[in-house]
Amino acid sequence: MQAQDLRSARLAIRARTRGLTAADVDRQLNDGIVVVGWLNRGTLHLVGRDDYWWLHRLTTPPLFTGNARRLAQTGVTPGAAERGVAAIEHALEREGPLTRVQLRNRLEAARVPTAGQALVHLLMLACLRGVAVRGPIVGGQHAYVSTRDWLDPPSPIDRDRALGELASRYLAGHAPASDRDLAKWAGLPLRDARRGLSAIAPASSGRARGGAPRPCLLDQWDPVLVGWHSRDRLLAHYPGLESPETHYRPFAYVSAQAVAVWSLRGGQVELGEPFAAVDGPALNALRADAVDVGRFLRRDNPAPSPG
């Protein structure tokens, strides 16, 4: 799940499960069952702990060049970047989970620039190097942890097998989709996307024409919105297509298309007037899903009973 915005990641899980709450997702983070790191196309993603290292090995190599360029643009020299990663590693191994603010303090004590976006790109470099990962929620903030403490050691991967697994996971959430869609979503060369799809071609042939998922409300960074070479079909009825910033808003999803936008005010979902045709059953399903979004986000949900 895309996770540069943790609310969006939580809501993406809600839309694909039944009965969970946002607090359940946070408990999974606190227990190390899921983690967040810079993976596909240099964007933060929430993944299962057992999937982290093979995805890291597969998707992070293309990201180092861009990261180095952005660090240079923010005034962080290669030497300062090395000191920064070392300071992050040292702090996490000695002090346990630390928030971004706490890591900023450790970096500044090591005389490493953190102004502007420098801090973000230093943290990204530490994650690309396999030193750190986002783990538990500490005081309402998402904290970083040492991968050495939080995850099992990485194992060697078979690249072709990993590409096939990546393609299979992508199609499970996006089919029908093309090789260009997969390449865009993963941030990998088109040849790698094609290798992955070829590896699973017999098993995935029946998936290409799968039925549309249930009508539901998705948040602004949901994988359905960002996982395409082109979003033309998804946003075919969306008003204001000439303004890219309007594409990234919480939206109602019916028959593989965005049909309305929604917002959250005072803990209540407000569903906008549909801008595409929506029949009665689908509209009723969206209204019921709006109630479920409120249930999911409430922090006073009772804890699940044991077992």
pLDDT tens by residue, 251-300: 999 998 999 999 999 888 999 999 999 999 999 999 999 999 999 998 65
CA distance 173 to 150: 28
Strand boundaries in 93-175, DSSP class E:
132-138, 141-146
Q: What is the DSSP letter of 98?
A: B
Q: What are the pLDDT digits (tens) for 170-220?
A: 998 888 899 999 999 999 999 999 999 999 987 665 444 444 579 999 999
276: helix, strand or coil:
coil
Give residue 211's pLDDT. 44
Q: Which residue has the tokens 């309007």?
A: 246
Q: What are the pLDDT digits (tens) for 145-161?
A: 999 999 999 999 999 99
Give residue 203's pLDDT. 66
Report the pLDDT averaged over residues 40-54. 96
CA distance 45 to 58: 14
CA distance 256 to 271: 18
CA distance 164 to 180: 15
Q: What are the pLDDT digits (tens) for 121-136?
A: 999 999 999 999 999 9
Report the pLDDT averaged over residues 230-242. 84
CA distance 51 to 41: 16
- Hey, what are 114's tokens? 């953190």
**What DSSP assignment string belongs to 206-258?**
GGTTPPPPPPEEE-TT-HHHHS-S--TTTTTT-TTTT-GGGGSS-EEEETTEE
Report the pLDDT averaged over residues 14-23. 95
Give residue 12's pLDDT. 95
Q: What is the DSSP letter of 2?
A: B
> In this structure, are residues 244 and 225 in contact, taking their beta carbons and an 8 Å threshold?
no
Give residue 302's pLDDT. 46
Burial class (CB in 10 A: 0-12, 13-18, 19+), 303: exposed
Give residue 246's pLDDT. 66
Report the pLDDT averaged over residues 94-108. 97
Strand boundaries in the chain, DSSP class E:
34-38, 44-48, 132-138, 141-146, 216-218, 251-254, 257-265, 268-271
Angle between helices 78-95 and 100-109 (to 10 degrees): 120
Report the pLDDT averaged over residues 41-48. 95
Q: Is it the case that residue 40 has pLDDT exceeding 90? A: yes
> In this structure, are residues 258 and 240 in contact, taking their beta carbons and an 8 Å threshold?
no
Give 77's pLDDT tier (boundaries 50, 70, 90): very high
For residue 187, which amino acid is it? G
| Mean pLDDT (the chain, rounded) | 91
Q: What are the pLDDT digits (tens) for 108-122?
A: 999 999 999 999 999
Q: Could you give the domains of the chain?
A: 32-150 (1.10.10), 213-301 (no CATH)
Strands 34-38 and 44-48: antiparallel
CA distance 39 to 162: 14
Give residue 141's pLDDT. 93
Q: Is it the case that residue 245 has pLDDT exceeding 80? A: no
Give 231's pLDDT tier (boundaries 50, 70, 90): confident
Give residue 267's pLDDT. 82
Q: Which residues of 135-146 are buried (b: 16+ CB within 10 A; e: fewer)?
A: bbbbeeebbbbb
Q: Is it the case that residue 7 has pLDDT exceeding 90? A: yes
- Hey, what are 40's tokens? 């596909």
User: Does the N-terminal peptide bond of residue 239 adopt cis geometry, omega within 30 degrees of 0?
Assistant: no
Using CA atoms in the order 303, 99, 124, 133, what is the torsion angle rounded to 10 degrees? -40
Which is higher by pLDDT, 36 or 247?
A: 36
Tally the C-alpha atoms within 13 A of residue 60's C-alpha that lie toward its C-beta.
18
Q: Give the largest Cα separation in the chain, rounded.
A: 62
